[in-house]
Amino acid sequence: MTSLDLDARDLRDSVRAVLARESTLDAVRAATEEPERWREAWAMAVELGWPAVAVPAEQGGLGLGVHAQAAILEEAGYALFGAPLVSTTIAATALSTAPPSAARDGALGAIAAGAAATLALGDPGLQVRAGSLDGSVPHVPDAGRAAIAVVLCGTASGPALCVVDATSVVSSAGPGPDPNRPVGTLDFAATPAERLPGGRPERAEQAARVLHAAELVGVAARALDIAVEHAGRRRQFGRVIGEFQAVKHRLADDYVGLERARSLTAAAATELDVNASGEGFEALSRMAKAAASEAAMTGVRDAIQVLGAMGITSECELPWLLRRARVGSQLLGDARHHYAWLGSRPPEEAR
Amino acid sequence: MTVQGAAQEYREWLAGLLPADYAERQADYRTDHALRAAHQRAAFEEGWLIPSWPRGLGGRGLDPFETIAVKLEGARSQAPRLPSIQSVGVIAPAIRQFGTEAQIDQLLVPTLRGDLTWALGMSEPDAGSDLAALSTRATSVDGGFHITGQKIWTTQAHTSDWAMLYCRTDRDAPRHKGISCLLLDLSGAGGVTAREIETGWPGTDEFCEMFFDETFVGDEWLLGDLDGGWKVAMSALNHERDMIWINAYVDVERVLRSTRRYASGALADHVAVELGRLATDAAALHHTGMRALASEVAGRPHPEFSILKLLGTEAVQRACDLALSVAGAEGLADDELLLEDFDALGATISGGTSEIQRNIIGERVLGLPRG
């Protein structure tokens, strides 16, 4: 076992304890009425150093690597955390694909100090000309919350990552069902954009898949816990319903799906940390995203079925887990999308 | 030795042992019993049979990660199957763990070398998944026991030298507590008949039913404690449990390669999705197996281990079905694939059915109540 493992485990425990206290169902539900409420949660996350985990030590972060980030994001998903931690972690990881430069170091330093950020991969056709961007990128998570946007755009020398001060960018809200994970469009109009020298868009997208997967694993784990708790308590026909194999076997299958996704996500996160070249990583990152999307969607749907009518009310976590699962699943390719990609390429190419 | 070093050394040893055309003529060598027996003897001598065991007992003291690497290498190169898998995988570990000095002296090394083969008498007509329901009786008589009853689905019983039999020795005790494990030399035993039961597909392992009518077995052949047979059974079945995912993982990947060969180019979208899902299943088996092992070695709980048998055996079934679907009518000529498809159906039955696996996950991992 590596010390990395130990760090990640300790970190996970402390994040879980804090979020169990802070990210209550009331807090999750309040986001609909109070769209700015996330700022409190974010301030707490910053205070506790969670976004800084993804930032290298040289820029004032903890530099614990993707493995540790994934552990935190799994807990964020489990607790339906409403602050833009997933988006910011993904953006920081995208920045870290580049060697040190003023653009990279400045943005990472700002994230360590508390700036929310997001990665905008939506439009590879976007062109950066003379240091400025024009056009729109749809489907950007936390578009309206991020102070920094890392944007995929085309340059004369091919696809590249740019850093944009997102506070000066107009964002339009929606679509998306989760008020705690709003998805929006970034509208650039002669927006200054700083090229990130040596940034690697492909690796940024791979890391984004894995970190999304980590959150979805947490969503699946929470749904299963809720279903198991209910099935162990609810009585019908004179029996606890968890005794019925129709219920028990469904939940056992969900556990298989959950651990399948957790293993692939952990393996992919570790691989990102130890394999700097990224060789052989494309398939694994897609497997993790596919498995986690599937585990979250199936797990939440099954939990709703087990809870019955209570499962479809907003007085229980499940519809909120469904919203989170749906957003996470739709972004960056769902299970079928990645399975089709993996299946249609010979194994030696699908790496 | 490093993990890669162990696998490399094993690969070289295996390549030196097997005929040069082994890979191409896999199907023929599959039924070459002389080769399979020679391979077992050589693996025993060189310490590749149970690599984690000490030298002299078919091992070379490898650690769990090295052992996994060796077993993976063996599965990938389709090393010859042991002539009697249960003898090495279940019976030898039970004798080593529970045997008396005399039992170990007489039985362990010959079993590992392949000089003695065993029938494993567990299932009965009314005790399949519910093993504790077994009713074959072993009644105390002067100097030993009389065994009376029936065992079924005993692989290779008609050609085995010895039998390991789980029998009820205390009919008044709670089900799990009245069972004992007895070792029976079939060559000299009276009152034993074995009838072969034909399996529904050519080329599969033969299994049998066995009948015992006051068959005598001496006290010295009790394995473990009197009425302590359940513990022997559970422990023996768990031997090499770390390895449970390896064959399924390698089988799925191999069947997916043959699916791609049959497709020869573009795949229909629905086939690609199913293929990608299975490739993901295979990778998940690998990573879950390694994750569970790392947790076990570090002394942490590793409940994720419990998904491996269920996911692995069911993935192999889906993979075979997909390959045959892509092959279409051509698949009818692919005896290897058809056999694998049939064998895959047995894998979700033996060693704990998929339904039992789901109960285990539901009850022992998730904590749901028993029905």
pLDDT tens digit sequence for A203-234: 999 999 999 999 999 999 999 999 999 999 99
Query: Does the pLDDT value for residue B96 go beyond 50?
Result: yes
Residue A35 or residue B212, greater confidence: B212
CB A61 within 8 A of CB A104: no
A249 lies within 8 A of chain B by CB: yes
pLDDT > 90: percent of chain B:
86
Query: Does the pLDDT value for residue A327 go beyond 60?
Result: yes
Query: Does the pLDDT value for residue A6 go beyond 60?
Result: no
Tell me how far apart the alpha carbons of residues B287 and A261 are, in angstroms, rounded to a whole number.
10
pLDDT tens across A250-266, in order?
Answer: 999 999 999 999 999 99
Q: Which domain holds residue B358?
A: 244-365
Do A260 and B311 make contact, defined as CB atoms within 8 angstroms?
A: yes
Chain center to CA of A21:
21
Cα distances from A280 to residues A129, A198, A268, A339, in angstroms, run 33, 20, 11, 17
**What is this structure's pTM?**
0.95
CB A87 within 8 A of CB A116: yes
Strand, helix or coil for residue B102: helix
Do B279 and A338 make contact, defined as CB atoms within 8 angstroms?
A: no
Chain center to CA of B162:
18
Mean pLDDT on A52-64? 91
Query: Does the pLDDT value for residue B286 go beyond 90?
Result: yes
Tell me how far apart the alpha carbons of residues B312 and B304 are, in angstroms, rounded to a whole number.
13
Q: What is the pLDDT confidence band of residue B1, given thresholds at 50, 70 and 90?
A: low
Q: Distance from A190 to chain B by nearest Cα, in Å?
A: 42
Which pLDDT score, from 0 to 100, does residue A3 have?
44
Query: Does the pLDDT value for residue A1 go beyond 70?
Result: no
pLDDT tens across B312-337, in order?
Answer: 999 999 999 999 999 999 999 999 99
Beta pairing, strands A148-155 & A239-240: unpaired
Torsion, Cα of B211, B216, B221, B223 (10° steps): 50
Beta pairing, strands B192-197 & B118-121: unpaired
Q: Note the helical H segments in B196-245.
A: 229-237
**A239 part of a folded domain:** yes
Which pLDDT score, from 0 to 100, does residue B366 have?
98
Cα–Cα–Cα angle for B327, B331, B337, rounded to 5 degrees: 105
Which of A195, A212, A235 is the last residue in one of the domains? A195
A224 lies within 8 A of chain B by CB: yes
Cβ neighbours around A126 below 10 Å, total: 21
Residues B254 and B223 in one domain: no
Nearest to B276 among A224, A341, A346 (CB): A341
Least confident of A261-265, A331-335, B294-298: B294-298
| Structure letter (DSSP) for residue A200 | -
Do B310 and A256 make contact, defined as CB atoms within 8 angstroms?
A: yes
Phi, then psi, of A146 in degrees rounded to 5: -75, 135
Residues A210 and A167 in one domain: no
pLDDT tens across A277-307, in order?
Answer: 766 789 999 999 999 999 999 999 999 999 9
Do B280 and A290 make contact, defined as CB atoms within 8 angstroms?
A: yes
Q: What is the pLDDT confidence band of residue A349, given thresholds at 50, 70 and 90?
A: low
pLDDT tens across B13-35, in order?
Answer: 999 999 999 988 888 898 899 99
Query: Does the pLDDT value for residue B157 go beyond 50?
Result: yes
Residues A62 and A136 in one domain: yes
CB A339 within 8 A of CB A290: yes
Which pLDDT score, from 0 to 100, does residue B239 have?
77
Residues A90 and A236 in one domain: no
Query: Does the pLDDT value for residue A2 go beyond 50?
Result: no
In 3-state terms, chain A is what percent helix, strand and coil (to 5)? 60, 15, 25
Q: Which residues of A touch B298 (CB under 8 A)?
A: 1
Which pLDDT score, from 0 to 100, does residue A348 have?
64
Which of B170, B205, B236 is the last residue in one of the domains? B236
Which pLDDT score, from 0 to 100, does residue B31 have?
87
Residues A14 and A156 in one domain: yes
pLDDT tens across B244-279, in order?
Answer: 899 999 999 999 999 999 998 788 899 999 999 999
Do A342 and B279 make contact, defined as CB atoms within 8 angstroms?
A: yes
Residues A296 and A211 in one domain: yes
Query: Does the pLDDT value for residue A194 go beyond 90?
Result: yes
Residues A48 and A177 in one domain: yes
Cα distances from B371 to residues A202, B31, B97, B161, B352, in angstroms, run 50, 44, 34, 41, 18
Instruction: List residues of B whose CB lies inside 8 A of any A CB.
Output: 253, 256-257, 260, 266-267, 269, 271-277, 279-281, 283-284, 287-288, 290-291, 294, 298, 304, 307, 310-311, 355, 357-359, 361-363, 365-371
| Structure letter (DSSP) for residue A57 | G
CB A59 within 8 A of CB A99: no
pLDDT > 70: percent of chain A:
95
The tokens for A58 are: 């040289």
Q: What is the pLDDT confidence band of residue A7, given thresholds at 50, 70 and 90?
A: low
Which pLDDT score, from 0 to 100, does residue A278 have?
67
| Enclosing H/E stretch for A160 | strand A158-165
Cα distances from B274 to residues A11, A36, A267, A288, A351, in angstroms, run 37, 43, 22, 16, 18
Which pLDDT score, from 0 to 100, does residue A175 have?
63
Residues A185 and A259 in one domain: no
**A350 part of a folded domain:** no
Tell me how far apart the alpha carbons of residues B284 and B308 are, in angstroms, rounded to a whole number.
9
pLDDT tens across A26-44, in order?
Answer: 999 998 889 899 999 999 9
Number of residues in chain B: 371
Indicate the number of domains in chain A. Answer: 2
- In SS3 terms, B267-319 reads as CCHHHHHHHHHHHHHHHHHHHHHHHHHHHHHCCCCCHHHHHHHHHHHHHHHHH
Helix axis angle, A245-274 to A66-78, nearest 10°: 150
Q: How many CA atoms lie within 13 A of A22 on its CB side?
A: 20
Q: What is the pLDDT confidence band of residue A60, given thresholds at 50, 70 and 90?
A: very high
Mean pLDDT on B89-109? 97
Most trustworthy range by pLDDT among A5-19, A78-92, A115-129: A78-92
- CATH number for the domain spanning A281: value is 1.20.140.10
- CATH number for the domain spanning A169: value is 1.10.540.10
CB A156 within 8 A of CB A132: no
Cα distances from A127 to residues A43, A136, A159, in angstroms, run 34, 11, 9
Q: Which residues of B touch A260 (CB under 8 A)?
A: 280-281, 284, 288, 307, 311
**A349 part of a folded domain:** no
Q: Which residues of A touch B277 (CB under 8 A)?
A: 290, 335, 339, 343
**A351 part of a folded domain:** no
Mean pLDDT on A308-322? 95
Mean pLDDT on B276-294? 96
Residues A77 and A176 in one domain: yes
- CATH number for the domain spanning B103: value is 2.40.110.10
The residues, any chain, with a CB within 8 Å of residue A312's CB and separated by 6 or more, are A304, A318, A319
Which pLDDT score, from 0 to 100, does residue A10 have?
84
Phi, then psi, of A11 in degrees rounded to 5: -60, -45
Tell me how far apart the alpha carbons of residues B357 and B311 are, in angstroms, rounded to a whole number.
10
Which pLDDT score, from 0 to 100, does residue B27 have?
81
Which of B82, B101, B119 is the last residue in one of the domains? B82
Residue A9 or residue A79, greater confidence: A79
Mean pLDDT on A43-47? 96
Tell me how far apart the alpha carbons of residues B287 and B279 are, in angstroms, rounded to a whole number.
12
Instruction: List beta partners, residue A118.
Output: A149
Torsion, Cα of B200, B204, B210, B216 (10° steps): 180
Annotate B133-142 with b (16+ C-beta within 10 A) or e (fewer): ebebbbeeee
Do B358 and A253 make contact, defined as CB atoms within 8 angstroms?
A: yes
CB B81 within 8 A of CB B30: yes
Helix axis angle, A282-307 to B269-297, nearest 10°: 90
A101 lies within 8 A of chain B by CB: no
The residues, any chain, with a CB within 8 Å of residue B148's CB and separated by 6 or more, are B136, B137, B139, B212, B213, B214, B215
Mean pLDDT on B270-295? 96
Strand, helix or coil for residue B173: coil
Q: What is the pLDDT confidence band of residue B308, given thresholds at 50, 70 and 90?
A: very high
One-letter amino acid at A97 equals T
Whether the ω angle into residue A175 lies within 30 degrees of 0, i.e. cis, is yes
Residues B154 and B263 in one domain: no
Residue written as tokens 């990665």? A119
Tell me how far apart the alpha carbons of residues B277 and A336 are, in angstroms, rounded to a whole number.
8
Q: Is B71 exposed, middle or buried (0-12, 13-18, 19+ CB in 10 A)?
A: buried
Number of residues in chain A: 351
Phi, then psi, of B23 in degrees rounded to 5: -65, -45
Residues B218 and B119 in one domain: yes
Query: Does the pLDDT value for residue A5 go beyond 60?
Result: no
Round the CA-based radius of gyration of chain A to a whole number and report it: 20
Residues B226 and B280 in one domain: no
Q: Which residues of A touch B367 (CB under 8 A)?
A: 228, 232
Which of A174, A195, A216 is the last residue in one of the domains? A195
Residues A187 and A230 in one domain: no
Annotate B181-190 with b (16+ C-beta within 10 A) or e (fewer): bbbbebeeee
Residues A189 and A216 in one domain: no
Residues B183 and B228 in one domain: yes
The residues, any chain, with a CB within 8 Å of residue B336's CB and separated by 6 or more, are B26, B27
Residues A164 and A232 in one domain: no
Cα distances from B90 to residues B46, B68, B150, B256, B349, in angstroms, run 21, 18, 20, 30, 17
Indicate the number of domains in chain B. Answer: 3
- Closest chain B residue to A241 measured between Cα atoms? B369
Q: Which residues of B touch A291 (CB under 8 A)?
A: 280, 284
DSSP B12-78: HHHHHHS-TTTTTTHHHHTT-HHHHHHHHHHHHHHT-SSTTSPTTTT-----HHHHHHHHHHHHHTT
Do A242 and B368 make contact, defined as CB atoms within 8 angstroms?
A: yes
The residues, any chain, with a CB within 8 Å of residue A33's CB and separated by 6 or more, are none
Q: Which domain holds residue A147?
A: 3-195
Query: Does the pLDDT value for residue A127 go beyond 90?
Result: no
- Average pLDDT, rounded, for chain A: 92
Q: Which residues of B touch A335 (CB under 8 A)?
A: 277
